Copies of this chain bind each other. A is one copy, B any other.
Amino acid sequence: MDRSPDGPGPAVIAVAQVAITVGEPDANRKAAAAAVAQAVQAGARLVVLPELCDSGYVFADTDPAAEARGLAAPADGNVTLGQWRSLAAAHDLVIVGGFCELGADGRLYNSAAVVDASGTRAVYRKAHLWDKEKLVFTPGDAPPPVVDTELGRVAVMVCYDLEFPEWVRLAALDGADLIAAPVNWPAANWPAASWPAGERPAEVIKAQAAAATSGVFVAVADRCGVERGVSWISGSLIVGPDGYPLAGPVLADQPAVLTAVCELPRARDKKLAGDNDLLGDRRPELYK
């Protein structure tokens, strides 16, 4: 475990479940700022916000790409990222959140940024696009970045990405202590839940397994607020490296800020009971 005695200690991690409205970026930024303020009140040093939390998600069926393009902006000089930087500087925070990016290549990306007081530390473009996103966005082709922060090493991926164990493993092998995942988890039916009574949604199960399988913290910020008839699981949660929730899942269509005290570098110890190691016991030569 490469954790120095003066390494990062315990810190409050927050995930913000925010009500978002497509096409209302000012209102959405205001809602995000309010959620960040609430997290700060609870002592948070890192806040995760949902996927596409500036633009909204359910673009108009008639021409979704056109509506998305009207709401997209480059990462450089981005109003949303500027807001996050101001909040990060004012409160000594790391903020991870999703935004609708207009690339320098003229293409649209479903992106997420890691921002701290020093500015934008990383921009990640979602690599596994969901359903109609394929009509709007270009998939990213870079692995999830792992950013060394004051709290520990923070990786970011977006929504459906988290359901690909190959992607989670890449982040873990690259040294992530925490995977921060802005998501918009659509619910199949409304108002009825799409998962069996007494069960957690499969998305939550996969997030728990992602944590336990690689021994990392996972922080998922989902959204709420029915948008053009689409509802959400609203399953924001924080999972410990053993796979058990430290906070959430919320599973209610309402704004929420969840917090948990996490010592992120604890995730560097991959030992299990006995002579076992979550990463060391892999047989990569056989994974062909």
Contacts and interface: CB of A to CB of B under 8 A. Distances in A.
A244 to B, nearest CB: 5
A65 to B, nearest CB: 15
Contact of A213 (B139, B165, B283): B165
Interface stretch (A53-61, A82-90, A271-279): A271-279
Contacts of A210: 209
A244 B165 contact: no
Interface string A170-202: 100000000000000010100000011001001
Contact of A166 (B139, B163, B209, B282): B282
A152 interface: no
Please state the number of chain copies in the assembly.
Answer: 2
Contacts of A270: none
Contacts of A209: 165, 202, 205-206, 208-210, 213
A167 B284 CA distance: 10
B139 A283 contact: yes
A287 B243 CA distance: 23
Interface residues of A, number: 46
Interface in A238-288: 242-245, 273-276, 281-284, 286-287
A207 to B, nearest CB: 9
A274 B127 contact: no
A160 B275 CA distance: 13
Contacts of A287: 166-167, 170
Contacts of A141: 283, 286
Nearest to A274: B131
A170 B160 CA distance: 20
Q: Which 10 A-B pairs have the closest CB atoms?
A: A131-B274, A209-B209, A165-B165, A202-B243, A166-B287, A202-B212, A206-B209, A205-B208, A131-B275, A205-B209
Given A132-B274, A160-B281, A166-B282, 8 more contacts: A129-B281, A141-B283, A141-B286, A143-B286, A163-B213, A165-B209, A186-B273, A205-B243
Interface of A: 127-132, 134, 139, 141, 143, 160, 163-170, 186, 188, 195-196, 199, 202, 205-206, 208-210, 212-213, 242-245, 273-276, 281-284, 286-287
26 contacts: A127-B286, A128-B281, A128-B282, A128-B283, A129-B281, A131-B273, A131-B275, A139-B283, A141-B283, A163-B213, A164-B213, A164-B281, A165-B168, A165-B209, A166-B169, A166-B287, A167-B287, A170-B287, A195-B244, A199-B244, A202-B209, A202-B242, A205-B205, A206-B209, A206-B212, A208-B209
